[in-house]
A and B are shown apart, each in its own frame.
Chain A
Amino acid sequence: MKRVKNIQREKYNMPITIMLIAGIVITILLPLYMSVMIAIKVPTDMNNVLALPKQLRLMNFVDAWKMTEYPRKFFNTAFITVINLGITLISNSFVAYAITRNRKKSKFFEIMYYYFLSAMFIPFSVIMLPLVVQANTFHLDNVVGITFLYVIFGLPMNTFLYCGAVKGIPEALDEAAMIDGARPLQTFWYVIFPVLKPTTATVAILSFMWTWNDFTMPLVLLSEQSQQTLQLAQYVFKKQFSIDYNLAFASYLLVLLPVLVVYVFCQKWITNGVVAGAVK
């Protein structure tokens, strides 16, 4: 294999290409294909799940849509994701900017930096039980409340990512803006925030993935039907005594679809963002 590569540098390595494609078909496409097949079949047509349906039934999607109250759950999930994204990107980047620029001048910001950093060591399952008590006291067991909690809980990781990026921006840039008469907020918004764009993309992608796919926090906090998210709504099928698989898989696909659409359009961004988030 290596020898072939040395002699004919321009040639593609076909054995590896074929093996990788076979890997995709078996491990990734097959489960997805099966899900689609189940979602468009009738219950009596389930003897061979991998075969094409004898009778196409798209009503499964309509039924699943109604049964899980899809529009409501979609709105809840989208609300949490979008609002969290907006507030997180602006507030966390500014906090990181304030901390990084003033760490050497004031002990307060130095302490804050290590405070947020050390909080990254606390996994969610450790604070799960007391958090529910705390959230109930402040009536945060709803969509707005959980959005607020996402903003707060994302702070350590995002601040860490943003701090690294702010450090790389020369302070002369701020000073130039200040000399021109810009106030701190203006300096941040017009000078610093635009330069932080790559990190903002990373934070945005990680936040989006976290809130859209999160299951644990909604499970422990959102008990009321009308407040539940898409992920949580799928749990109703598991609770049923005998699962209507056709309906369930139609419902799963309805949840996967928005993510797949986002992935198709922002694939490059997403992979780059995830790498940047992990390597820092």
Chain B
Amino acid sequence: MKKKKQKVNVLYYVVVGAMALLFFNFHTVSFLKGIFYSFTDWKGYGDWNYVGLRNYLHMFEDVDTKNAYLFTFQFTVITTVLVNMISLILACALNAKIKFKNTIKAFYFLPYMLGNVIVGFIFNYIFANLIPTLGKACGIQILSTNILGTNHAMWGIIVVTVWTACAFNTLIYIAGLQAIDIDVYEAADLDGASGWKRFRYITFPLLAPSFTINMVLTAKGFLMVYDQIMAMTEGGPGTTTTSIAVLIYKKGFGGGQFAYQSANAVTLFVIVVAISIFQLRILEKREEQIR
């Protein structure tokens, strides 16, 4: 009797099927081809042979790859912590009873709208000209050279990334803060909790879902860091700021390492998936404990 109701219109099959086919052909096939190439010695053109796991084994000996992973992990950890700390403070401040609230919020969100590349170019100038001039005028040694030309170039990239990324994360934290019931604070006031205590035992636990989202999204995004580096240092000086994505691009297209960098990309994929799952597990567990 229910048979007739279960019938699905053909149109749905056609549209979803067609979209799935297109998606398969350009996204999934690309992904699978990448895995396939990683077992060959293809240069992007010409003949190729199977080489088994050679590309993957080579990754452990290759200095460039090791440096890129080291840089990317360092960068991700530092930037994730900084962005979440600053965003949380900013969100709490923006959520206080302040004047011109909406205008101030609008300004703090502005960096999100500007493309990474152009922001990178603007900060290039600041690091190369403005800060050294300032540093010399004040007699501060560290500031008087262009940081992007030194071994500390990573910090230049971190500053720019934090500048752009805080906007988005602050917004999510504000949304989280606004979802907290005012009654909870009033109850806390009666119990004598205020200031840091109130934040530590009431605000932060209730903010846990936003914290989870932000940590996962930021960490995953920073593992892929690419635009800012291409705009600012192109991986230099030397290879000090070459992230994994930059290495894949530079050596994969320009260095004749198409197959080897495909193996690198597959490894990166495995790491991203593993970190995402791991992070979600840990953070979800913590959320439960705090509650």
**How many of chain A's residues touch chain B, expressed as a range?**
35 or more
Given A12-B97, A102-B8, A126-B266, also A2-B194 (CB < 8 A): yes
Q: Are A108 and B13 in contact (CB under 8 A)?
A: yes
**CB-CB under 8 A for A102 and B12, given A119-B27, A123-B269, A131-B26:** yes
What total count of A-B pairs have CB within 8 Å? 231
- Which of A3, A31, A126 has the most chain B CB atoms closer than 10 A to its own CB? A126
Q: Tell me if B118 and A129 are in contact (CB < 8 A).
A: no
- A179 is an interface residue with CB less than 8 A from chain B: no
Q: Is the CB of B268 within 8 A of A123?
A: yes
Contact A134 B163, beta carbon cutoff 8 Å: no
Do A134 and B26 touch across chains, with their CB atoms under 8 A apart? yes
Q: A38-B125, A95-B15, A108-B13 are in contact. Are A152 and B26 (CB under 8 A)?
A: yes
For chain A, residues 70 to 128, give those with C-beta under 8 angstroms from any C-beta of chain B. 91, 94-95, 98-99, 101-102, 105-106, 108-109, 112, 115-116, 119, 121-128
User: Knowing A119-B23, A122-B31, A238-B121 touch, does A129 contact B253 (C-beta < 8 A)?
Assistant: yes
Docked-complex contact A99 and B195, CB < 8 angstroms = no
Stretch at the interface among A51-59, A60-68, A189-197, A267-275: A267-275
CA distance A129 to B276 in the complex (A): 23
CB distance from A90 to the nearest CB of B (A): 11
Contact B19 A95 (CB under 8 A): yes
Is the pair B226, A216 in contact by a Cβ cutoff of 8 Å? yes
- Whether B265 pairs with A129 at a CB distance below 8 angstroms is yes
Does A237 contact B121, Cβ atoms closer than 8 Å? Answer: yes
Shortest CB–CB separation between residue B255 and chain A, in angstroms? 12
Known: A105-B8, A109-B12, A231-B115. A125 touches B249 (CB 8 A): yes
**Count of chain B residues with a beta carbon within 8 Å of a chain A beta carbon:** 87
- Of B125, B198, B252, most A-chain CB atoms within 10 Å: B125
A27 near B163 with CB under 8 A, answer yes
Task: Choose, from B58-66, B105-113, B140-148, the stretch at the interface.
Answer: B105-113
- What are the residues of chain A within 8 A of B217 when measuring CB–CB? 278
Report whether A125 and B226 are in contact in the complex, using a CB–CB cutoff of 8 Å.
yes
Main secondary structure of the interface of B (DSSP, over half): helix
Once the chains are docked, how many angstroms separate the CA of A133 from the CA of B259? 12
- Check if B171 sits within 8 Å of A271, measured CB to CB: yes
The answer, yes or no, to whether A248 is at the interface (CB within 8 Å) is yes
B74 adjacent to chain A (CB < 8 Å)? no
* Interface status of B71 (Cβ within 8 A of chain A): no
Q: Is B82 an interface residue (CB 8 A)?
A: no
- Whether B93 pairs with A16 at a CB distance below 8 angstroms is yes
The digit string for B95-134, where 1 denotes a CB below 8 A from any CB of A, is: 0111110001111111111111110011101100110000
Whole-angstrom distance between the alpha carbons of A12 and B248 in the complex? 52
Bound together, the chains give a CA A35 to CA B110 distance in angstroms of 15
B interface vs A, CB < 8 Å? 6, 8-9, 11-13, 15-16, 19-20, 22-23, 25-31, 33-34, 37, 44, 90, 93-94, 96-100, 104-118, 121-123, 125-126, 129-130, 163, 168, 171-172, 175, 189, 194-195, 198, 213, 217, 220, 223-224, 226-227, 230-231, 244-245, 248-249, 252-253, 258, 261-262, 265-266, 268-269, 272-273, 276
- The interface of chain A, by Cβ under 8 A from chain B, is 2-3, 5-6, 11-14, 16-17, 19-21, 23-24, 27-29, 31, 34-35, 38, 49-50, 91, 94-95, 98-99, 101-102, 105-106, 108-109, 112, 115-116, 119, 121-135, 138, 149, 152-153, 155, 184-185, 209, 212-213, 215-216, 219-220, 231, 234-235, 237-238, 245, 248-249, 252, 255-256, 259-260, 262-263, 267, 270-271, 274-275, 278-279
